[in-house]
Structure 1
Amino acid sequence: MHTRLNCLTIVIPLISACSHLSLDPGNASYGLVEDVRSKRSSTWDWIRIELIYDKSVNELTTLRQTTLKRLISQARDYFEDTIKVERVRKLQLWPECAGQMWKKDNKGEVTIVCEKYCRPSCGTATAPMGTAIFTPCSCHHGNCPSDFDDYIGTITHTDFVLFVAIRHGICAKNTLAYAARCSLHPITHRPISGYVNVCPDAFDAMQKNEMSRWLSTIKHELIHAFVFSTSHYRNFIGAKPEVQKTPIPIVPGVIEKFTRTDWEVAQGNIPHDVYMIVTPKVRQEARNHFACPTLEGAEVENQGGSGTRGAHWEKRVFENEAMSGVATQVYAVSRLTLALFEDSGWYQVNYDKAEDMSWGKGLGCDFAKKSCLTWMRSRQDPYPFCTQEFDMRCSEDRKSKVSCNLVSPKFARIPIDYNYNIPSLYTDDNGGRIVALGQEEVADYCPYYRVFGEVAKEATDTRCTYAGNMYYNNYSLEIFSRSARCFSLDGGIKVSKKLKKTTYNHKVGCYETVCKEDRLYVKMQSSKFYPCYYAGQFIHVEKRIPKLGKVTTRIICPPCKDICGEKCAPDKKHNEKIGDYRKISTSLAIFFSFIVLLMFFL
């Protein structure tokens, strides 16, 4: 059986695109269904997903097995609360075959005939003995090596069967998981079964701080099986039959090609092709998101492997959407992806379950339609893109410290379409000019600010909200917790020990916050909370840290609404020095002055 596989890859600090089989989407298997349908209307209701685990899952340790099943269940629960389908009364899946497959249809009674033997499988996952959900199956020469009778039957109260396996399969070095659909509804062509294969090496290496990443990965893979795959587009309700077989298949009415004539690169303006989902709801959501009324649709990925191209949102313009080709920081299943579900014609969606995608929001047509060079060159602050190597700042929601992923390799072969090296654009951390590029191919080599993970035993990253990043008596005095947020620092961090003074060029730090009395309050390690009366106010820090010495810095208060929302008191100028520093009273200062004078005359 031919399928198209889709996968999500992530690697820190280097990221690569998916690499896997890409087969003809026209060769699909069709399950047998009995619809719940009256003569006048169909029955739409929340999708019911049945989970079937391959025996490879049972080979995991008890802890890992529990973790995987919890992740799968959480992902299932999300979709069962988010998408509706035309429900079916019962369904029956085609088995897979070793060798060729034939179908016999005797007055609606379907039997599958396999060249060698019948497999009760979907992709890499095989159903346990007694899972009676498959059509009858026989072998071409009449002698099957094993009895298939225990697998013959139908399943009720289910609209989609999800098979789960954890096998090496086609797992590349940096692949977390991959997925595909298996059987389709014989009339609507909606997927009614599929599988997700978790890559064992990646799952075994999972750290505590990666749970949200893995949940997003599972959801990402299920979306491929449900709807977001080039093998599905021709079956969308608005698809026109003139499918063009190109590296990214063009399906008029669903995915189309457009040429940008003003794509700015180092050599000037050149023509550049982009591919876009142009279905009605997707187009409107893209226009609303960017505030660009002339946008033709939502751009899809044009780079990476065959399972990445055309089956993910373009990372340059949808960086933190869950369906971008690589996962780097936020993984939002946004209104855009839910709109794709609706435009297929197979689903109704609950937009209240959409997650916020801040990337590019309201930035207009220049951001959505033009190269990132146009954006970086024409603005003093190129955010969310960046031009200085290693530069750090706070993320837009202040929940993370983010770093510029600009790199300057010794030997860089940069494609013409993505070479943005105009004079003096890119600099190193000392301000020197460099020839560089963004770290990720699928982001069109545009450099941007992102959360970074540290390859360390502690499994830390740059999220302020992850308590596992916490370490005490560090010179930055940072706090990592669910209520911690990112703040800019004035003048870096100074550490003095005896006669030695060192300044660390830290631009940002994570500190505890609380919103009370209509004001923002901030604290660092071993201190009380201090109020922020106005944006730009300093919280002065001066502390002695064992074995380190005296640490001094100044935390810059952001606008209160950045963290506390709209319920903030008006800014109030405050002349008193606020913070955690050594205070000496006037009387004590006079006493010390007297002692100094006395010692001088003695």
Structure 2
Amino acid sequence: ILQSHYQQIRITFDYTHFDSLDPQYKNHSSLLRSRILPDVQNFWEQALRVARLPTALKINPEFCPYYTSTTHIEPGIANTDLVIFLHANNEDVCGQNEILAAAESCQKDQYDRPTVGITYICMDEMDINNDKGIDEIKHLLIHEVAHILGLRAADMAFYRYRNGAPRTPRPLNLTEVTCVDGRNATVQRPAENTLQMGFTNRGNRYYELVTPTVQTVVQNQFNCFEMKGARLENQFEDNCFGSHWEARLFTSETLSSVATPASHYLSPLTLAALEDSGWYIANYTQASISPFGHGAGCPFVENDCIVDGEVPNWGKDYFCNDTFRDGAPIKCDPMHRYMSRCDLVDFTDYPFNEPPFVPPGTTYQYFPENKMLGGLLHTADYCPMYSLIVVQGDKELDCEDPEINAIINAAGVDTFEVETFGANSKCFNSNMGRPLCMKYHCNAEQNKVQI
């Protein structure tokens, strides 16, 4: 397919199921329709170009029983390249622990590009009372649409070269493989030119996406040119290979399995993966550099985050070994937006010790004197970091929040005259007893951050 044939992707959301929602969700539905989903749609339509469908998109009810009108079957939905049906409060999805949303595709075009999908939204988990909560929902749904577009383990065997030839030979055969959790499964395994298996230095199995653009982007991200590809999440995934970026390496990336305000960076990596699917041409101006581990070098990728209970020199900007307690040091999170505390806890007496907060297994234990110590974020391989996970009711201290001044004062902490809170501020560690929120400016000519 010639690049000149690619045009901005057209996305259609179907809101019909929202019409039958309980009245208590009226505000949720209205906000999704009028503000959040239009922003999500605009983001992806600006981010991707596609070989547009030449005719109306006809829903196949055998594969996608989510259609809301028989006209979706015949004559079809005109002027669109992707239709997404929206469902709210699905019991199978929203009944699970802390699930905010889920998504999948159900129909493909002749080149295997997903053309129809469904997104399940758990409205009881939505905070629509402030701009921060609304922004969280927007980034969550940007994440879910990426899965529909093709960033899922189930879609990787269908990826193609730019000329349309399949990366994995056809017909696709079922193959028995060992999954990241050690179980055997019979699946459609992507070819080695797309997905490869590897092991960490502690023997933990993972799969990584090794397509060409992904390899280039991930090497640049970490300044580590030994990397073959981008590692996929290997814990608590509901599939064999992983459908998210590994949180140990990509915790600030939108397509990691971490759902916090710090993971709002849809980076060139996600766009590279979608481009390497063969279905899209990416507009990388829509991407943001993911700050976690950026330029940190190969030791960040290959070595333990904690060595004999201590933070290695290369990891001091990202990891920590201060056990969480009242009076524990407050420092900036790795993204320099929040004041936070180290999320290292002793799982023996952690008061909220329930799933997903389970103790680290043998290959995730970094403290020889106490094997029950670990970071709360299990998907980050229990590496402790200055985290936004709310621990024992701790407040999120967001330097970009203009109202944070009152929260800090209410906590009995004085603010300093030099501090500024708002959209143009970041968190900077200091020798004044806590980090400071300071207005900053990126000086491109000097390649410096000026305060």
Instruction: Give the TM-score band, short-chain normalised.
Output: 0.7 to 0.9
1:415 Cα shift?
1.2
Q: 1:89 to 1:314 in 2, by over 3 A?
A: same
Farther off after superposition, 230-239 or 270-279: 270-279
Corresponding letter in the other structure for 1:386: C
Query: Residues 361 and 488 of structure 1: is their aligned pair in 2 closer, same or farther, counting only changes over 3 Å?
Result: closer
Candidates 423, 429, 450, aligned match of 1:482 = 423
Task: Give the alignment of 1:45-84 within 5 angstroms.
Answer: 45-57=7-19, 59=21, 60=23, 61-69=25-33, 70-84=35-49
The residue number in structure 2 matching 1:451 is 388
State which of 435, 441, 447 in structure 2 corresponds to 1:508.
435
- Could you tell me how far 1:389 is from its partner in structure 2? 1.9
Contact 2:338–2:396 (8 Å) recurs in 1: no
CA contact (8 A) 2:11 2:83 kept: yes
Aligned equivalents of 1:42 and 1:356: distance in 2?
A: 28
Alignment of 1:279 with 2:217, yes or no, is no
Match of 2:75 among 141, 145, 153: 153
Distance in 1, Cα, partners of 2:155 & 2:314: 43
For the residue of structure 2 that corresponds to 1:51, the secondary structure is strand
3-state SS in 2 of match to 1:352: helix
Structure 2: unaligned runs, 5 residues or longer: 161-166, 181-186, 350-357
The reply on whether 1:393 has 2:331 as its aligned counterpart is yes
Once residues 287 and 380 of structure 1 are traced to their aligned partners in structure 2, the CA distance between those partners, rounded to angstroms, is 17
CA distance in 2, matches of 1:41, 1:381: 42
Q: Deviations over 1:146-186 (max 9, x none)?
A: xxxxxx3222211111111212332113011000002110x
| Kept in 2: contact 1:316–1:442 (CA 8 A) | yes
1:173-184 pair list within 5 angstroms = 173-184=97-108
Counterpart of 2:354 in structure 1 is none
Where do residues 117-132 of structure 1 align in structure 2 (5 Å cutoff)?
Answer: 121-122=65-66, 126-127=67-68, 129=69, 132=71
Show structure 1 runs of 5+ residues with no match: 1-36, 102-119, 135-151, 264-269, 424-432, 493-506, 519-558, 565-602
* TM-score, structure 2 normalization: 0.81
Secondary structure at 1:89 match in 2? coil
**Correspondence 1:414 to 2:360:** yes
In the alignment, the residues of structure 2 paired with residue 84 and residue 45 of structure 1 have an alpha-carbon distance, to the nearest angstrom, of: 5
Cα distance in structure 1, aligned partners of 2:149 and 2:283: 16
Partner-residue secondary structure (3-state), 1:197: strand
Matched with 1:193 is 116
Task: For 1:311 and 1:378, locate their aligned partners in 2 and report how far apart those are by CA, in whole Å.
Answer: 30
Cα distance change of structure 1 residues 380 and 245 upon mapping to structure 2, 3 Å threshold? closer
Tell me the amino acid that sits aligned with residue 406 of structure 1.
L
CA contact (8 A) 1:308 1:325 kept: no
Report the Cα distance in structure 1 between the residues aligned to 2:89 and 2:440, rounded to whole angstroms. 45
Whether the 8 Å CA contact 1:303–1:309 is kept in 2: the answer is: no
Is the alpha carbon distance of 1:397 and 1:175 closer, same or farther for their aligned partners in structure 2, counting shifts above 3 Å? Answer: closer
- Residue number in structure 1 paired with 2:318: 384
Q: 3-state DSSP class of the match of 2:406?
A: coil
Distance 1:488 1:365, change over 3 A: closer
Q: CA deviation at 1:470?
A: 3.9
Question: 2:8 matched to 1:43?
Answer: no
- Corresponding position: 1:294 with 2:226: yes
- Name the CA shift for 1:448/1:232 in 2 (closer, same or farther; >3 Å): same
| Alignment partners' CA distance in 2, 1:400 and 1:377 | 21
Superposed counterparts of 1:314-393, under 5 Å: 314-328=246-260, 329-374=262-307, 377-379=311-313, 382-390=316-324, 391-393=329-331
Amino acid in the other structure paired with 1:82: A
SS at match of 1:446: coil
Tell me by how many angstroms 1:42 deviates.
7.0
* Higher-Rg member (1/2): 1
- Residue 163 of structure 1 corresponds to 85
Give the CA deviation at 1:345: 0.3
Instruction: Report deviation, 1:383.
Output: 2.6
**Residues 399 and 463, structure 1, Cα contact 8 Å, conserved in 2:** yes
Distance 1:307 1:53, change over 3 A: farther
- Does residue 51 of structure 2 align to residue 86 of structure 1? yes
**Alignment partner for residue 197 of structure 2, among 245, 257, 277?**
257
> Which residue in 2 is equivalent to 1:10?
none
Greater percentage in helix: 2
- Distance, in Å, in 2 between the alignment partners of 1:300 and 1:218 is 20
**Does 2:219 align with 1:219?**
no
Deviation at 1:419, TM superposition (A): 1.0
Q: Which has the higher strand share?
A: 1
Q: 1:179 and 1:158 mapped to 2: Cα distance? A: 19
Give the 3 Å change call, closer, same or farther, for CA 62–273 of structure 1 in structure 2.
closer
CA distance 1:561–1:415, shift in 2 (3 Å): same
User: TM-score, normalised to structure 1's length?
Assistant: 0.62
Q: Equivalent residue for 2:404?
A: 469
**One-letter amino acid of the structure 2 residue matched with residue 464 of structure 1:** C
Query: How well do the aligned residues superpose, as a CA RMSD in angstroms?
Result: 3.2
Q: What is the rounded CA distance, in whole Å, between the counterparts of 1:121 and 1:467 in structure 2?
A: 46
1:68 partner letter: L
Residues 460 and 469, structure 1, Cα contact 8 Å, conserved in 2: no
Give how far 1:194 is off. 0.5
Length, aligned pairs only: 407
CA–CA distance in structure 1, aligned partners of residues 240 and 319 of structure 2: 23
Answer whether contact 2:235 2:379 (CA < 8 A) is retained.
yes
Amino acid paired to 1:211? I
